[in-house]
Every structure is written in C-alpha cells, then in structure tokens.
Amino acid sequence: MSDVYASISAVHGYVPDDVLTNHDLEQMVDTSDEWIVSRTGIKERRILKGEGKATTDMGVEVVKGLLEKSGTDPSEIDLVILATVTSDMNFPDGANTICSKCGINNAFAYDISAACSGFVFSLFTGAQFIKTGAYKKVIVLGVDKMSSIVDYTDRSTCIIFGDGGGGVLLEPSEGDLGIRDAVMGGDGSGREYLYQTAGGSLKPASAETVAAREHFVTQIGRPVFKAAVSGMKDSVTTLLERNNLTKDEIDWIVPHQANIRIINTLASMLDFPMDKVVVNIDKYGNTTDGTIPLCLWEFESKFKKGDKIVLTAFGGGFTWGSILLDWAYDSN
C-alpha cells in the first residue's frame, strides 16, 4: 500500500469573461497602473458578474472540464474537495452543490478553508484517500469569488484580488509517479494581519457590521509579506532536504500568486531561476485558492511526464505548505 501514489491525471481551470484592468481601478480609487504593476505584478484580474452567480458556478465549469478531458463519467467520482473562502453559503458545503449540478451522485464532498493555502492542503488530503486505497477517483478544486469580499474603496486590497479557479483529478498512479511528500504549517498568531472581521460566530452579520464595512478582506501588508516568504521558503527547503533533492533536480516551482515581489524574493532565497517559476499573476491577480490550479492549467502544456514539481502556498491564519510531486503525463 505504501507504493501507491496519487497522481494528477487531468487539470482544468476557469476564469470569468469580465476583465477588471488597472486602468479601470484608476477610476475607482486613488491608484495607477504603474503603481500596481511595480508593487504587485498585476495588470488585470477577472470578475464574476451576474445576478446569482457564485463560487460554485465556477467550480461546476472546472469539474465539467475535468470530466470531459479525462473521459470520466460523473458516477465514477468518489470524492470532491473544494478549497475556498467564499463558498456560496456558510452551509451547505459548496462541494456538495457542485456535485449536484454535475450529476456526481456517488461521491461525498466537503469544503476546506485555509485561505490561500487551501488548495495545497486539500490536494494532499485528497491524495491520502488514493494512497490508502479507499478511493480511485478524487477531484480537488480551488475556487474563489474574491470580488464578493473585496472593498472596492480600499486601494490596498482591491487591486490584488480576482475571481476564478481550477482543479485536478487524482487517480492511483500506473507507475511510480505522483504526489510524493508534503510539508504543512500554521501559526494562529497571524490572524491579526489577514482576516475578515465579521460574518462568523464571533461577530455575526448585523446592520452595524455591514455599515462598518467589516465583511471585507483586511490585510496588513508588511508582516504578511515577511511571513509568506519565510513560510514558503522554509517548507520548500524542508521538503527538498527530506527527499534528498537539490534545487537543480526540480523542474518547476508553482507558487501561490499573491504578489510578484513575494514570488521574486522566494525564488532568490531558494536560488531558483525565474524561468522555472510558474507565474500568471499579471493576468488573474490573486484568486486565493484558485491560483495554483490556474497555474497548473495554464502551464499544463509545458509540463512533461516525470517532471519534478513543487507547489507552495501561504495564506491568512497564518497557513502555509509545499507539495512535491512527479507530473504523470504529457499533455500532448
């Protein structure tokens, strides 16, 4: 049983059609295209518009794409895990809603909330169900509608976030390729630097919390930046050391797309060349749980069977984690 690996057999992504550019934001808050690009690397982001449109609508598109690409019938799916901080409602789980809309009737499903680390946490969790032999086909999603919790009068946060996401299908590896190892971490003291004040049991929604604009993302930039670089760098370093790998043996690093300065600093501290670091923050911004699966989807054609890939993320809480995997197929 220890020789069974969970491998990614398909990947798909989805972003809404509506584009919010830096020039659009210049009309909304006191900012500029040059300022945003130089500090974040973001040029535009996607926004999910339309009455009644929510996170699960994007998740449904991802799942449909995964099923079609892999030739999988919905009845074959055993488990669906959705990483998100913007599920349609506090309950029921968004994953269950997605299953219902996609005709997945033989699976159980649930959400995981770990801010921007959620997809990495969920991927490693889903891999365990494959590794133990409990299940054969597991879908792991990372999707967020961040526009639903972003204050578009706050120039420090509204420039960062976008909507979208992606996901993967996990199956037992036919060889020795798949998810190898993971290093996860957390530090609850970080809750005072990146959070959403109201809407939970501590401070339920009320007319007062809405008037005070307490249902939006709040971020204190400097301590988040420092902790993000440290958490991802340390977890990647531990992962490589534990698996007796050097940086030269890693083909790709896929980091959470939070800020280009964080990505550049991480690559520098790991002494890893930027041409092997996957970056698409310029087009999509920070989609929270969606960034890593969107990177896998967009760069799928560049990955070759057997490539050693490291996924690494950091999120509010604080949370962080890195996964080592072997890519299991050639996309072409």
Active-site position among 22, 96, 259, 286: 286
Amino acid present at 201 = S
Active-site position among 96, 256, 259, 295: 256
Amino acid present at 198 = A
The span from the CA of 278 to the CA of 41, in Å, is 13
The span from the CA of 151 to the CA of 289, in Å, is 19
Active-site position among 102, 116, 158, 295: 116
96 in catalytic set: no
**Interior CA angle at 162 toward 157 and 165, to 5°?**
140
Q: Which residues contact 134 (CB under 8 A, 6 or more apart)?
A: 78
Taking Cα atoms as reference points, which of 270, 268, 280, 258 lies closest to residue 310? 270
Do residues 291 and 268 lie in contact, with contact meaning Cβ atoms separated by under 8 Å?
no
Cα-based distances in Å from 290 to 10, 82, 225: 16, 10, 19
The span from the CA of 48 to the CA of 145, in Å, is 7
Q: Would you tell me how many other CB atoms lie within 10 Å of the CB of residue 155? A: 16
> Both tokens of residue 94?
């968004």
116 in catalytic set: yes
332 in catalytic set: no
* Coarse DSSP helix, strand, coil percentages of the chain, rounded to the nearest 5 percent: 40, 25, 35
> Which are the catalytic amino acids?
116, 256, 286
